[in-house]
Amino acid sequence: MLKKLIILLLYLLPFLSVGQKAIVDENMEQNERNNSYDFYECKESEYLFEEGLAVIEFVDENTIYIKNETNTGYYGTHISFKIDKKMNVCDLKYYTWDDVEDGSITDFKTQDFDIRLNKNPFKTGIHDLQGIYHLKIISDFNPGEMLSKENIKPKTTHFTYRAVFECK
């Protein structure tokens, strides 16, 4: 019985996800970004179409919620996650969308995530909070019926999404 349990655990080990931790790096370079990083900024906006919008707020005294979004009206990107007081990252979501209705579906799976913050928001608040992150993603594209007729095949790609956010 014990042998079967060990075999089962060894089989499941690759599928168990270990929580990611946010790292506080007070020496993090301001504006460490370059052209390969998307930029998100906390700002008031009444516009539906907004590029590079960051929302950072306390859910409760033990959790902050960070959302980065772009919406051009033609396509959009959404990244959101929570960080708890112990700096554990949870509820990570990444997806994109576009205005093309061809029945295609793209599923995104997070493979790895690392984030650095310039300060601990639980000690000093979110004012002047900056972060930089890398998100390794597996994208599974499944063409809809229309594209399948054009001989477009399902495709899996691996990529890294890089972004910087700041809340001044």
Cβ proximity of 91 and 81 under 8 Å: yes
Which tens digits make up the pLDDT trace of 22-39?
999 988 765 555 678 999
Q: What is the mean pLDDT of residues 45-55?
A: 85
pLDDT digits (tens, 9 = 90+) for 100-154: 888 899 999 999 999 999 999 999 999 999 999 999 999 999 998 888 888 999 9
Angle at 127 between CA 69 and CA 43, to 5 degrees: 35
Where does residue 151 rank: exposed (0-12), middle (13-18), buried (19+ CB within 10 A)?
exposed
Better-scored residue on pLDDT, 100 or 85 = 85
The model carries a pTM of 0.82
Summarised one tens digit per residue, pLDDT across range 53-76 is 999 999 999 999 999 999 999 999
Higher pLDDT, 124 or 5: 124
Mean of the per-residue pLDDT values of the chain: 86
Question: Alpha-carbon torsion 113, 56, 54, 167, what sign?
Answer: negative
